[in-house]
Structure 1
Amino acid sequence: MSTVVVQFCALFERLRQRLALGCPDAASPAGWLLVQLGLLLLPSSALLASFLLFPALLLGSLRRECPYWRDPWNWPLIAAGLLMLLGCFNAYSGGLALSGLGNWIPFFWAFWGFQPYLADAKARRRMALWLVAGTVPVVVTGLGQLWLGWQGPWQVLGGLIIWFVAPGGEPEGRLSGLFDYANIAAAWLALVWPLALAALVQPGLKRGRRLLVLAVVVALVAALVLTDSRNGWGALVLAVPLVLGPLSWPWLLPLLALALLPVLLSVLPGVPTLLQDPARSLVPESVWSRLSDSRYASERALASTRLSQWSVALQLISERPWLGWGAAAFSVLYPLRTGKWHGHSHNLPLELAVSHGLPVAIAVVGLVLALLVVSQRCASMSLFDRAWWAAILIVVVLHGTDMPFFDSRLNIAGWMLLAGLRSRIGEPRSNDSVTVL
């Protein structure tokens, strides 16, 4: 028994030493270990990840050279947080308004507190790889539920953690894995896809490791396709030129355009039958019918469509533009006005404006867009920084027609990515290693 204990302790020490490598100067060494393990567990369990990420966040907030309120990038979040609190006093949604702040205000702090762990390109690369590695259980369980008939619930820690893996996917026939719904699984896989692609094409990778990464990437792409999410399919295409970089565009963009031409001809309205029929013979019916929404168009009532939800959201904003109706108010008001229930407006800027008012929506959305623009221009980008930037852009695009951030795992990952963009701004050029493909 003593020999086993000694071997285990030696293995643990080697793992600790390996995790300790690459810790940025401004980061807590203990927090550095916790963040890596937290990101590894995040796709599988937000609860387990939080037990690691929360103390890392506390450590990342201590002994900072620049206090929270002195960083101009935090000022929009401070203003938004104060307005959100003020709006709770006259919220239509009552107590839901106060509890709904949990989706926002703690993450305004996390945006700042995680920055020391993402202070250089090497640190961001390591965190990206942990997110890719942590996604493997999502892919495996998703493929298992569709191809092998796996189903939950699966429990660990005496029922503290329960995975409700739906047999055949949720909804039926669409991969959902460890997530509650296929569109949420697709959002997570779309977020990780640019990071996985960067891991695959990075130079200097040994053959055995590249084959392993290739297997993970192929499985991830298969899982993303099987979610049957149009947003996810779009993310597959969008990420490729962004990650590979401008030097690849002269040959890559024409190739992508040629590959997408049959898909466009098969789904765009007004295309002559002479062109559309051959295109649909090349493109799988499951793809062109999903993209054209022909499977569901005849079944949907107007009140169940995005256009109806956005129209009602705009009406609600016009009625209370300054402080909004309170968090979760849309789910209360939409049934009263349409007779159909929907939990949100399927658009993040609209949802923010309905819940907390136009000033809050402008502050938060403006901050994210400014981070994307400024971080892209401030210095030359390494391969993994391009992938990091692409992941944020994909998350932004996804929130134009859906609201995956209501899943806590995506919310945590999204704010972690935003913290990485903030850390990149002002980073010395000598710290950036440009990867040319």
Structure 2
Amino acid sequence: MTARLCAWLRSGCPAVASPWGWCLFQLGLLLLPSTVLLASLLFVPALVLGSLRREGPYWCDRWNWPLLAAGGLMLLSCFSAVRADLAWAGLANWLPFFWGFWGFQPYVAEAGARRRAALWLVAGTVPVVVTGLGQLWLGWQGPWQALGGLVIWFMAPGGEPQGRLSGLFDYANIAAAWLALVWPLMLAALVQPGLDRRYRGVVLMLAAALVTALVLTDSRNGWGALVLAVPLVLGPVSWPWLLPLLVLALIPVLLAVLPGVPALLQDPARGLVPESVWSRLSDSRYAGERALASTRLSQWGVALQLIAERPWLGWGAAAFSVLYPLRTGKWHGHSHNLPLELAVSHGVPATVALVGLVLGLLIVALRCSRVGLFDRAWWAAVLVLVVLHGTDMPFFDSRLNIAGWILLAGLRSRIRETETAAVSPS
């Protein structure tokens, strides 16, 4: 049985990847949403194996140059940081993943491997969905322990915040970010051609459970990701009929939440759209409860002031959490926008290098010809993460950080496939 399992795991290994590294990589993806510790114990040797016997060293790939530049600037910023201890510790959120971006590429070097990696992420998300629904509907709560305490699942009773699904994550918005990341991959698994009817039924149930869990996170970003991913995954062929349907479905929502809409239109729309949806989208449930310093607009405004004061090397990692209370009297751990957070911590040049890399990968990968279903879903998952980081910072959760860099590695590999095909003899 073990031999058959190993043989199955080794199947589909990309030509440029180590077979043993490929096995470790797949198992790491399966465990990643549930236990980052065990997943990391698999990913690290996979990364080592993925870094050996490469065509060239790290610095020979031009897509790594922005990472080298940003890494150097981040190191320099530590010497002038407002809190040196936090600044040096904060490098762990970045520098190891710059290596991961390169080291993971052999395992997502082919379309078949990326499809399989996507399905492993989908399978690994099942415990997130099940525990999240159990948390809200059955009253499940942690901590649950396994392997002598090596794996601990903390689950807040009734969700965190109360009434919002958080499951295996610390906060509902982080759970929503993970589910939103996986949603395009789940949708591709559901609509892929040639799938046996019984298997499609199983995937349909999993997809319905994931959508339910994502809705129950009460995350506006998560709800938006549900809509955004559908036309991207189904592709341009579906747009003539899908986009009009989406517009028709969204019109009542917009009428219900936009300020200034006449009551003659807004009242019927609010009667049609569930109150839990329109009140959350319009933020009316918190009207009058939040001080200005607790809003994102205030956080972004202070972040811009800090960037203007130190534009080149920033204030050091995690400086926002130190400086924001001094400026406003309110504590916030981050600025709720990744480019702003990067610029505050490490300066504008490092931010331009990293943001430019991600946007460049998205743009160039989009232009690749003959993009298949799972590559569209892969691209959509990256775009969803990028959009989420415009108003939140889910990458501070290590599981999302790892998954994000694996997705970026897949885009780089897709680009390399196209470049290789363009220069190979016909």
TM-score of the superposed pair, with normalisation by structure 2? 0.98
Query: 2:156 aligned with 1:166, yes or no?
Result: yes
CA distance in 1, matches of 2:324, 2:149: 35
Q: Where does the alignment leave 5 or more consecutive residues of structure 2 unmatched? A: none
Query: 2:316 aligned with 1:326, yes or no?
Result: yes
Query: Aligned-pair distance for 1:431?
Result: 8.1
1:64-83 correspondence to structure 2 within 5 Å: 64-83=54-73
Partner of 2:16: 26
Q: Name which of 91, 102, 105 aligns with 1:112.
A: 102
CA distance in 1, matches of 2:203, 2:6: 23
Partner of 2:381: 391
Query: 2:345 aligned with 1:382, yes or no?
Result: no
Label 1:397 to 1:428 Cα distance change in 2 as closer, same or farther (>3 A).
closer
Q: Name which of 344, 359, 371 aligns with 1:369.
A: 359
Query: 2:346 aligned with 1:356, yes or no?
Result: yes
CA distance in 1, matches of 2:8, 2:250: 43
User: Contact (CA 8 Å) 1:197, 1:217: kept in 2 or not?
Assistant: yes
What code does the residue aligned with 1:29 have? P
What code does the residue aligned with 2:233 have? V
Partner of 2:205: 215
Query: Aligned-pair distance for 1:103?
Result: 0.1
* Number of equivalent positions: 422
User: Contact (CA 8 Å) 1:136, 1:216: kept in 2 or not?
Assistant: yes
Query: Aligned-pair distance for 1:429?
Result: 8.6
What code does the residue aligned with 1:416 have? I
What code does the residue aligned with 1:39 have? L
What code does the residue aligned with 1:215 have? M
Partner of 2:172: 182
Label 1:430 to 1:328 Cα distance change in 2 as closer, same or farther (>3 A).
closer
Q: Name which of 278, 283, 286 aligns with 1:293.
A: 283
What code does the residue aligned with 1:370 have? G
What code does the residue aligned with 1:354 have? V
CA distance in 1, matches of 2:418, 2:267: 55
| Structure 1 SS opposite 2:152 | strand
CA distance in 1, matches of 2:149, 2:175: 22
Partner of 1:266: 256
The Cα offsets for residues 238-282 of structure 1, whole Å up to 9 and x where unpaired, read as 000000000100000000111111111100111111111010001
The Cα offsets for residues 303-330 of structure 1, whole Å up to 9 and x where unpaired, read as 0000000000000000000000000000
The Cα offsets for residues 83-121 of structure 1, whole Å up to 9 and x where unpaired, read as 100111111122110010000000000000000001111
Partner of 1:85: 75
Query: 2:220 aligned with 1:230, yes or no?
Result: yes
User: Contact (CA 8 Å) 1:378, 1:426: kept in 2 or not?
Assistant: no
Query: 2:244 aligned with 1:245, yes or no?
Result: no
TM-score of the superposed pair, with normalisation by structure 1? 0.95
Worse-superposed segment, 311-320 or 86-95: 86-95
User: Contact (CA 8 Å) 2:368, 2:418: kept in 1 or not?
Assistant: no
What code does the residue aligned with 2:286 have? Y
Query: 2:142 aligned with 1:152, yes or no?
Result: yes
Q: Name which of 57, 82, 101 aligns with 2:91.
A: 101
CA distance in 1, matches of 2:332, 2:135: 27
What code does the residue aligned with 1:320 have? R
Runs of 4+ residues deviating >4 angstroms: 428-432
CA distance in 2, matches of 1:429, 1:369: 18
CA distance in 2, matches of 1:310, 1:93: 21
Q: Where does the alignment leave 5 or more consecutive residues of structure 1 unmatched? A: 1-10, 433-437
CA distance in 1, matches of 2:80, 2:246: 51
CA distance in 2, matches of 1:376, 1:425: 9
Q: Name which of 35, 38, 41 aligns with 2:28.
A: 38
User: Contact (CA 8 Å) 2:141, 2:154: kept in 1 or not?
Assistant: yes
CA distance in 2, matches of 1:76, 1:310: 25
Query: Aligned-pair distance for 1:379?
Result: 2.0
CA distance in 2, matches of 1:81, 1:326: 13
CA distance in 1, matches of 2:173, 2:352: 26
Query: Aligned-pair distance for 1:58?
Result: 0.4
CA distance in 2, matches of 1:206, 1:357: 52
What code does the residue aligned with 1:36 have? Q
The Cα offsets for residues 139-190 of structure 1, whole Å up to 9 and x where unpaired, read as 0000000000000011112222211111111000000000000000000000
CA distance in 1, matches of 2:421, 2:62: 23
| Structure 2 SS opposite 1:426 | helix
Label 1:429 to 1:332 Cα distance change in 2 as closer, same or farther (>3 A).
closer
CA distance in 1, matches of 2:9, 2:221: 35
| Structure 2 SS opposite 1:162 | strand
Label 1:303 to 1:248 Cα distance change in 2 as closer, same or farther (>3 A).
same
Label 1:258 to 1:53 Cα distance change in 2 as closer, same or farther (>3 A).
same
Query: Aligned-pair distance for 1:426?
Result: 2.8
CA distance in 1, matches of 2:273, 2:126: 29
CA distance in 2, matches of 1:429, 1:327: 37
Q: Name which of 325, 333, 356 aligns with 1:343.
A: 333
User: Contact (CA 8 Å) 2:101, 2:406: kept in 1 or not?
Assistant: yes
| Structure 2 SS opposite 1:243 | helix
Label 1:205 to 1:430 Cα distance change in 2 as closer, same or farther (>3 A).
farther
